[in-house]
């Protein structure tokens, strides 16, 4: 992209703006040659675009010559500067605002260094490089120590890698926040299950349970071991057995852990649906 942006028309808008915004924020300047404020704003936008050096794409649309696009986006007064991300218009401002306001507007669209590292971690994880994803998230956390969503991402990977003590330390630093509390609770349950998986052998727990099938503590520990190794179906079977025998055991702890596993296995919709029905049956 040229430092000073590109022109778009009715025919090229889809490519230059909509498709481009799926990978990079796009700033569209709707202008016209007769517009005095447009002439004031134009060099400010171009200067900022040059300084940001590819962090966003600047596109200019002559609203007189491209009335179809202008009408589609409700352009009635110019200059109208519209931001696009992920193929959609997300915000805009009107008029020849000062450079400081232009920068503030653009900064809301560009990921912070920490968020950039978080995005890189997601790509690494999708490629199967878990170790590199952990490193990227640790870097993100160092860049922005207050970013608790990054902490949750990191804790999830540490649990996956059985680095239990590290995961616990990371989760302990997460502050209460209604937007992330549900995920925090799910990861805390996953952490507890992972600890249970390492506390005793499966063979040992099965032998004890065979000797005393009514020992709910042993059955609960076996369920934790299964859940800690993502054998959710087996874990749910053990917990359901406790519920069938004593739904109020330890103030309903078995039922609570079933719900925790539902959250952990949210991508296994058939499994969750099946065991929701079984839980409802056990409680009736």
The residues carrying an active-site annotation are 35, 38
What residues have CB less than 8 Å from 279, skipping those under 6 apart? Answer: 240, 243, 255, 258
β-pair type (88-94, 80-85): antiparallel
Torsion of CA 112, 113, 117, 123, to 10 degrees: 60
CA 148 – CA 141 distance, rounded (Å) = 8
Tokens matching residue 141: 């956390």
- Asked whether the beta carbons of 225 and 192 are under 8 A apart, the reply is no
Angle at 180 (CA atoms; ends 233, 172), nearest 5 degrees? 85
| Helix, strand or coil, per DSSP, at residue 231 | coil
Question: Can you give the three-state secondary structure of 70-81, one letter per residue?
Answer: HHHCCCCCCCEE
Report yes or no: 44 and 2 within 8 Å, Cβ to Cβ.
no
User: Strand order of the sheet with strand 80-85?
Assistant: 6-7, 57-62, 26-31, 80-85, 88-94
C-alpha to C-alpha distance for 265 and 258, rounded to whole angstroms:
10
**Computed from CA positions of residues 139, 176, 264, 249, in that sequence, does the dihedral angle turn out positive or negative?**
positive
């Amino acid at each position: 992209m040229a430092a000073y942006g590109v022109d778009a028309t009715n025919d090229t808008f889809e490519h230059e703006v909509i498709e481009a915004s799926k990978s990079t924020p796009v700033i569209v300047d709707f202008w016209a040659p007769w517009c005095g404020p447009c002439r004031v704003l134009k060099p400010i936008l171009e200067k900022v675009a040059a300084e940001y050096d590819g962090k966003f794409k600047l596109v200019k649309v002559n609203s007189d010559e491209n009335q179809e696009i202008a009408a589609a986006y409700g352009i009635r007064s110019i200059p109208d500067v519209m931001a696009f991300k992920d193929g959609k218009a997300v915000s805009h401002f009107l008029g020849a605002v000062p450079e400081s306001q232009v920068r503030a507007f653009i900064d809301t669209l560009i990921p912070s260094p920490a968020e950039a590292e978080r995005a890189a971690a997601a790509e690494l994880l999708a490629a199967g490089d878990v170790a590199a994803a952990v490193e990227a998230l640790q870097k993100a956390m160092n860049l922005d120590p207050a970013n608790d969503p990054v902490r949750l991402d990191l804790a999830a990977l540490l649990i996956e890698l059985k680095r239990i003590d590290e995961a616990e330390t990371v989760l302990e630093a997460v502050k209460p926040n209604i937007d992330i509390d549900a995920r925090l609770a799910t990861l805390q349950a996953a952490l507890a299950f992972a600890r249970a998986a390492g506390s005793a052998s499966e063979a040992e727990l099965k032998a004890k349970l065979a000797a005393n099938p009514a020992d709910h503590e042993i059955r609960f520990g076996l369920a934790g071991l299964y859940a800690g190794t993502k054998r959710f179906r087996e874990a749910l079977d053990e917990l359901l057995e406790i519920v069938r025998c004593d739904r109020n055991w330890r103030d309903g702890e078995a039922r609570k852990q079933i719900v925790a596993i539902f959250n952990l296995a949210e991508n296994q919709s058939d499994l969750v649906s099946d065991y929701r029905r079984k839980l409802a049956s056990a409680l009736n």
